[in-house]
Chain A
């Protein structure tokens, strides 16, 4: 399940809803990751743009990968502004045994950071500033820049 929400995520409600939706399917492990916007660098908020069609494809590939191990992945992300101490990102893995879920959540979150088509901005003084220094080029970038 991939959910996109305007503004900050309702963490308790989402975690609880995911738990309730899967609790009778015999998964022994439910391992969520909750990302919280930290107060640093004088920011008021983070803000996000998302390109949904490619995000959906990326997520479906992860669903297939998880299914091969009998697991499922869940993800929720914010669109627009998320104030300091709000949550912009939640992901989770359900699996029969804990080892699969612990390993999958780590690789899922890392690949998410490197490949998911989401752009982050610092909000400072009401202005959105692209977080370029913290961003990662998607694999294969530079194709049109004469690098290929």
Chain B
């Protein structure tokens, strides 16, 4: 299982999903109307490292986080 956490203002509880890659996760999350708008603007981290490829493999126990637009200070 891969855990998926929605940070900051997304306000959605974490999910536990059976997925092998970010590409697969992308397809799955796109089906959720609550999330589809966020997906366009979120950065993605796997185990707290920002990633840039949909081909990033996911293994059981990995933690994916979605980071919406930021504004510190």
| Interface, chain A (partner B; CB < 8 A) | 35, 48-49, 51, 53-54, 57, 77, 88-89, 109, 112-121, 130-132, 134-148
Query: Counting CB contacts under 8 A, is B8 at the interface?
Result: yes
Q: Give bound CA distance, A142 to B61, whole Å.
A: 24
Q: Could you tell me the distance between the alpha carbons of A119 and B7 in the complex, rounded to whole angstroms?
A: 9
Which residues 56-73 of B have a CB within 8 angstroms of A?
A: 65-73
| Across-interface contacts of B73 in A (CB, < 8 A) | 35, 77, 88-89, 109, 112-113, 118, 120
Which of A88, A119, A148 contacts B70 (CB under 8 A)? A119
Looking at chain B, what size class is its interface with the partner chain?
20 to 34
Knowing A141-B41, A143-B43, the reply to whether A136 touches B67 (Cβ < 8 A) is no
Could you tell me the distance between the alpha carbons of A51 and B66 in the complex, rounded to whole angstroms?
11
Given known contacts A138-B69, A144-B26, A144-B44, what 11 new A-B pairs fall within 8 Å (CB)? A89-B72, A112-B73, A120-B71, A137-B42, A138-B70, A141-B43, A143-B54, A145-B30, A145-B42, A147-B40, A148-B54
Task: Compute how far the CA of A146 lies from the CA of B29 in the bound complex, rounded to whole angstroms.
Answer: 11
Question: Which residues in chain B, 32-47, are within 8 Å of chain A measured between CB atoms?
Answer: 36, 39-45
Given the complex, which residues of A lie within 8 Å of B49, measured CB to CB? 57
Q: Is B41 in contact with A146, judged by CB distance below 8 angstroms? A: no
A146-B72 contact, Cβ under 8 Å, with A137-B43, A140-B43: no
